[in-house]
Amino acid sequence: MSISPRKDGIAAGRLAADQLAQNFTDLHPPLEPHEAHVAADRCYFCHDAPCMEACPTSIDIPLFIRQIATDTPEAAAKTIFEQNILGGMCARVCPTETLCEEVCVREVAEGKPVEIGRLQRYATDRMMAKDVHPFDRAAPTGKRVAVVGAGPAGLACAHRLAMKGHDVVIHDARAKPGGLNEYGIASYKSTDSFAQAEVDWLMRIGGITMKTGSVLGRDVTLEDLSAGYDAVFLGMGLAGVNALGLDGDGREGVADAVDFIAELRQAEDLAALPIGRDVVVIGGGMTAVDAAVQSRLLGAQSVTIAYRRGQDRMAASVYEQELATAKGVRILTNVQPKALHGNGRLEAVEFEYTEDRDGKLTGTGETVVIAADQCFRAIGQTLSGAPEGLEIAGGKIAVTGAGRTSVQGVWAGGDCASGGDDLTVTAVAEGRDAAEDIHATLTGTAG
Ligand code: SF4
């Protein structure tokens, strides 16, 4: 990667526009039809398929792959969308290497799984490109449901409810719907405004009203929603971020990785986006990797991910870790931040080495200083602005069963709710399952 011109500090235009465009192209280019057939032909169409068991949304994977193999990709797409209406985005962002593809019998036997994620994208892209929506809305029930949050959980919940004939109003705090799909993942995973196109396509079911810029607690309260609707689903994600707890946390050059990722996703001109020459990202999850890789792609000369435990404990998958190192990101493990140095502006981050003593993370007293003009915090997000009266467990809205909260008539799912992984696909499954439970409750068929 050629970097020109070399600039100190945080600066825009480290790379030429054509280089930036090349850097931010689709991470996994879509399969051509003949490639999809070759990939589908590798599937054994297993009975009791382990891949299906490993999918949080329980997509019938052998069925949709067989439908691709028999040249009916639209039927394959419908099989996917029946379980996961955001199957297009999940095909792009799911860590398939730790879910369906990890347990594929081809992976187990040969070390090379069927490319389930890419096949899923092939099928879903084909249907969406034809601008076809595969489901019809049932006759109106006269019931109204409020959904808070237009991220994966809220959208999946809203779509399933709308399909069943309920009227849904989604309130989302941001200017655009999509939640993490729109604001929280790396640009090279969702190119060509796919997140927006997917929301538009999903809304074609009808019966869903989208209210953006509507903040729970400011513009609307849970009390209002409970009074005005037959049920409420909360899927507002985690809007708070953890601080480093160090002096200088607010110093110029220190920022939250989620804000950087959101700004990048919304940027019209990547060449105008400032980035440091030497960047340090603190954290070990997907957000840390997304921020670090994109820093490199914007032209940062050195990028280091610093994580407090061993590499095997990083929440980012091995695939994501390898992607980072392939892009030139250094991963430094067993270090915890100790000080942010610099006179007004960040100049270096000091870390203390750590070790695991009897299961407890402990500083060794030995330190290392890494030059940095920019530092991104990626040490986790927190629930913020949860309505009063809801039981909280482990910092999230406590739920039982299919997302039932402690308040009657209020369900929750996705990252803001207790239990489950913080994955897009898990959020979709939780939103969908809560919708089924809401429907059963509203129609008096709940068990
Ligand atoms: Fe096909 Fe692999 Fe799933 Fe078996 S485990 S059905 S081979 S994708």
Evaluate whether 140 touches 418 at the Cβ level (below 8 Å).
Answer: no
105 and 191 co-located in one domain? no
Does one domain contain both 370 and 279?
A: yes
Distance, CA of 106 to chain centre: 27
Give, using CA atoms, the residue closest to atom 5 of ligand 1. 104
Structure tokens at 164: 């069943």
- Say if residue 393 is in the same domain as residue 368: no
Residue 322 neighbours by CB under 8 Å, 6+ apart? none
- pLDDT band at residue 9, thresholds of 50, 70 and 90? confident
Backbone angles phi, psi at 53, to 5 degrees: -60, -35
Q: State the distance from the centre of ligand 1 to the C-alpha of 104, rounded, in angstroms.
A: 5
Give the list of residues 6+ apart from residue 54 with CB closer than 8 angstroms, or none.
99, 100, 102, 103
- Reported as type and span, the H/E element at residue 382 is strand 381-382
- CB of residue 77 inside a 6 A radius of ligand 1: no
Distance from Cα 55 to the centre of ligand 1, integer Å: 12
Report CA(20)–ligand 1 centroid distance (Å): 37
Interval 331-360: pLDDT, tens:
999 999 999 999 889 999 999 999 988 889
Assess whether 347 and 393 both reside in one domain. no
* 3, part of any domain: no
260 and 353 part of one domain = yes
- In the predicted model, what is the mean pLDDT of residues 269-288? 96
Amino acid identity, position 92: R
**Nearest-atom index, ligand 1, CA of 45:** 6
Question: Over the stretch 243-258, which tens digit does the pLDDT of each residue have?
Answer: 898 988 888 999 999 9
Is the pLDDT confidence value at 1 over 50? no
pLDDT at 57: 96
Does the CB atom of residue 50 touch ligand 1 within 6 A? Answer: yes
Range of the domain at 101: 41-129
Residue 32 inside a domain? The answer is no
Residue 104, ligand 1, Cβ within 6 A: yes
Check if 340 has its Cβ closer than 6 Å to any atom of ligand 1. Answer: no
Q: How far is the CA of 89 from the centre of ligand 1 (A)?
A: 21
- Residues 247 and 344 grouped into a single domain: yes
In-domain check, residue 229: yes
* Radius of gyration of the chain measured on its C-alpha atoms: 23
Q: How far is the CA of 39 from the centre of ligand 1 (A)?
A: 11
Report yes or no on 2 lying in a domain. Answer: no
Claim to verify: residue 290 and residue 367 sit in the same structural domain: yes
- 336 and 255 fall within a common domain: yes
Residue 139 forms part of a structural domain: no
Do 393 and 413 lie in one domain? The reply is: yes
**Does the beta carbon of 63 sit less than 6 angstroms from any atom of ligand 1?**
no
Q: What's the pLDDT band for 6 if we cut at 50, 70, 90?
A: low
- Does residue 50 register a pLDDT over 50? yes
Last residue of a domain, one of 342, 361, 377: 377
Q: What are φ and ψ of residue 394, in 5° steps? A: 60, 35
User: Where is pLDDT greater, at 263 or 447?
Assistant: 263
The reported pLDDT for the residue numbered 5 is 42
Residue 447: which pLDDT band, with cuts at 50, 70 and 90?
low
Rounded distance from Cα 102 to ligand 1 centre (Å): 10
Please work out whether the CB of residue 69 comes within 6 Å of at least one atom of ligand 1.
no
* Distance from the alpha carbon of residue 101 to the mean position of ligand 1, in angstroms: 8
User: Ligand 1 center to residue 95 CA distance, Å?
Assistant: 16
Q: Evaluate: CB of 45 within 6 angstroms of ligand 1.
A: yes
Average pLDDT, the chain: 94
**pLDDT of 2:** 43
Is residue 271 within 8 A of residue 264, CB to CB? The reply is: no
Q: What are phi and psi of 248, to 5 degrees?
A: 90, 10
Domain assignment present for 182 = yes
Tell me how many domains the chain contains. Answer: 3
Q: What percent of the chain has pLDDT over 70?
A: 98
**Both 70 and 157 in a single domain?**
no
Say if CB 294 and CB 276 are below 8 A apart: no
> What number is the average pLDDT over the span 262-287?
95
User: What average pLDDT does range 414-429 have in this prediction?
Assistant: 92
In this prediction, residue 132 carries a pLDDT of: 86
Lowest mean pLDDT among 58-72, 165-179, 418-432: 418-432
Tokens standing for residue 199? 């929301």
When pLDDT is averaged across residues 23-48 and rounded to a whole number, the result is 95
What pLDDT, on a 0 to 100 scale, did the predictor assign at position 420? Answer: 79
Q: Is 51 near ligand 1, meaning CB less than 6 Å away?
A: yes
Task: Quickly state the pLDDT bin for 433 (edges 50, 70, 90).
Answer: very high
CATH number for 81: 1.10.1060.10
**How sure is the predictor about 385, in pLDDT bands with cuts at 50, 70 and 90?**
confident
Q: What is the average per-residue pLDDT within 212-226?
A: 95
Q: Comparing C-alpha atoms, which of 133, 130, 132, 114 is closest to residue 31? A: 114
Please state the rounded mean pLDDT for residues 88-113.
94
Say if residue 271 is in the same domain as residue 284: yes
Instruction: Pick the residue whose CA is nearest to atom 1 on ligand 1.
Output: 43
pLDDT higher than 60, residue 302: yes
Whether the per-residue pLDDT at 113 is higher than 60: the answer is yes
Enumerate the β-bridge partners of residue 348.
341, 371
CATH number at residue 217: 3.50.50.60
Q: Does residue 149 sit in the same domain as residue 211?
A: yes
**How far, in Å, from the CA of 47 to the mean position of ligand 1?**
9
Q: Is 27 within the bounds of a domain?
A: no
Ligand 1 near 114 CB (within 6 A): yes
